[in-house]
């Protein structure tokens, strides 16, 4: 059980499940529409084997990416006293983590082979970018943050393209919410890890370039922007009901509170709390968008 727990933390299973949920939401919100904007017949949800493949892709690519991340970051994680990282704590060897990452990438890409060409291209592109991110992009100012934000947004577009030849405006709006939330979260994470990143990777992350305070102010602005942005999908045609609006309003209020905290509290404890809360807030918002199908 201890070994299983270690690999769950290595793979960040909660992130993988959130990405799979995002793909499913993209599929459901595209497949449930009466007609495409072009007038083409409404797409059906994929048959079960294709559906399972589409959900497996983000799960395994994400798992491989996080295992590779910990492989490259073992010195940084030790410097930052990240006892939750199983390689840094000695629970998993670097060689075992690297083998696990390779296996996950192979499975994830293989799962994409039966999917439409656009979805396969997205899989190959983001598999490559995730490797580039772990190897080099993450230590560059803002570039790595933008990649992670894009990786949080792309599952909605990926899921839509599995079932439809084009993407609805409301799907783009949901993807934008995920992108902005992811960018704010990653800038906060860069601020949290700044000392270890500089010491062991000679990183030039955004907080190193513009300062920790300015970086957190940027995150606060991004979180504040999510208050109106989180409601934009409804303005673009997403069906609303009491449950969907209620959940999304909770998300909007949570991001408003996070904007205030990011701008006023630089403590490591607060940054850790903000990073964790951002995923919860996004998950509640995704549940709200999914509830529009009820």
What is the share, in percent, of the chain residues with pLDDT greater than 70? Answer: 92
Nearest to 265 by CA among 209, 179, 192, 208: 192
Residue 41 is predicted with a pLDDT of: 45
Token readout for 270 is 């607060």
Separation of alpha carbons 114 and 210, rounded Å:
45
Count Cβ atoms below 10 Å from residue 169 Cβ, excluding itself. Answer: 14
Whether the CB-CB separation of 226 and 240 falls below 8 Å is answered with: no
The predicted structure's pLDDT at residue 137: 86
Task: Select from 75, 85, 74 the least CA-distant residue to 9.
Answer: 85
Q: Angle of helix 2-11 relative to helix 48-72, nearest 10 degrees?
A: 90
Query: What is the residue-wise DSSP string for 144-186?
Result: HHHHHHHHHHHHHHHHHHHH-SS--HHHHHHHHHHHHHHHHHH
Q: Are 139 and 128 in contact (CB under 8 A)?
A: no
Q: What are phi and psi of 48, to 5 degrees?
A: -55, -45
pLDDT tens string 276-292: 899 899 999 999 999 99
| Residues 130/82, Cβ–Cβ less than 8 Å | no
pLDDT of residue 196 exceeding 70: no
C-alpha distances out from residue 115 to 10, 53, 130, 200, 248, Å: 28, 8, 20, 40, 31
pLDDT in tens, 73-126: 888 787 777 778 999 989 999 999 999 999 999 999 999 999 999 999 999 999
Per-residue pLDDT at 197: 65
pLDDT reported for residue 165: 85
Does the model's pTM come out above 0.85?
A: yes
pLDDT of 35 above 60? no
Reported as a pLDDT band with limits 50, 70 and 90, residue 47 is confident
Q: What's the token pair of residue 170?
A: 């409301």
Residue 237 or 254, more confident: 254
pLDDT of residue 198: 63
User: Average per-residue pLDDT in the chain?
Assistant: 90
Residues listed for the chain: 294
Mean pLDDT value of segment 175-192? 94
| Digit-coded pLDDT (tens) for 8-34 | 999 998 889 889 999 999 999 887 655
Dihedral sign from CA coordinates of 256, 259, 264, 265: positive
Beta bridge partner(s), residue 145: none
Distance of alpha carbon 259 from alpha carbon 73, whole angstroms: 28
164 — pLDDT class (breaks 50, 70, 90):
confident
In degrees and rounded to multiples of 5, residue 257 shows phi and psi of -65, -40
Mean per-residue pLDDT, 193-216: 80
Average pLDDT of span 199-222: 86
Measure the CA–CA gap between 206 and 144, rounded to whole angstroms. 9
Place of tokens 């529409």: 33
pLDDT at 44 over 60: no
* 3-state class (DSSP) for residue 41: strand
Residues 261 and 182: their CA atoms lie apart, in Å, by: 17
C-alpha pair distances (Å), 138 with each of 13, 130, 238, 294: 21, 10, 35, 40
Q: What is the pLDDT of residue 159?
A: 95
């Amino acid at each position: 059980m201890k070994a299983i727990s270690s690999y769950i933390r290595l793979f960040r299973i909660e992130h993988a499940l959130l990405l799979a949920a995002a793909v499913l939401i993209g599929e459901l919100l595209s497949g449930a529409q009466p007609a495409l904007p072009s007038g083409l017949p409404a797409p059906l949800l994929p048959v079960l084997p294709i559906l399972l493949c589409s959900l497996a892709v983000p799960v395994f690519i994400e798992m491989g990416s996080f295992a590779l991340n910990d492989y490259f970051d073992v010195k940084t994680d030790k410097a930052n006293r990240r006892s939750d990282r199983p390689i840094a704590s000695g629970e998993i060897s670097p060689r075992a983590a690297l083998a696990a990452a390779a296996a996950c990438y192979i499975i994830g890409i293989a799962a994409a082979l039966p999917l439409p060409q656009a979805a396969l291209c997205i899989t190959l592109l983001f598999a490559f970018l995730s490797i580039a991110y772990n190897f080099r992009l993450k230590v560059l100012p803002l570039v790595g943050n933008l990649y992670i934000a894009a990786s949080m947004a792309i599952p909605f577009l990926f899921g839509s393209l599995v079932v439809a030849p084009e993407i609805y405006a409301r799907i783009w709006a949901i993807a934008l919410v995920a992108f902005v939330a992811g960018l704010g979260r990653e800038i906060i994470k860069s601020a949290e890890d700044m000392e270890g990143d500089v010491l062991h990777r000679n990183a030039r992350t955004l907080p190193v370039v513009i300062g920790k305070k300015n970086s957190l102010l940027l995150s606060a602005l991004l979180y504040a922007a999510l208050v109106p942005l989180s409601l934009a999908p409804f303005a673009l045609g997403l069906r609303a009901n009491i449950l969907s609006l209620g959940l999304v309003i909770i998300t909007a209020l949570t991001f408003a509170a996070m904007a205030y905290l990011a701008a006023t509290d630089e403590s490591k404890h607060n940054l850790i709390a903000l990073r964790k809360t951002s995923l919860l807030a996004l998950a509640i918002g995704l549940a709200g968008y999914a509830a529009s199908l009820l």
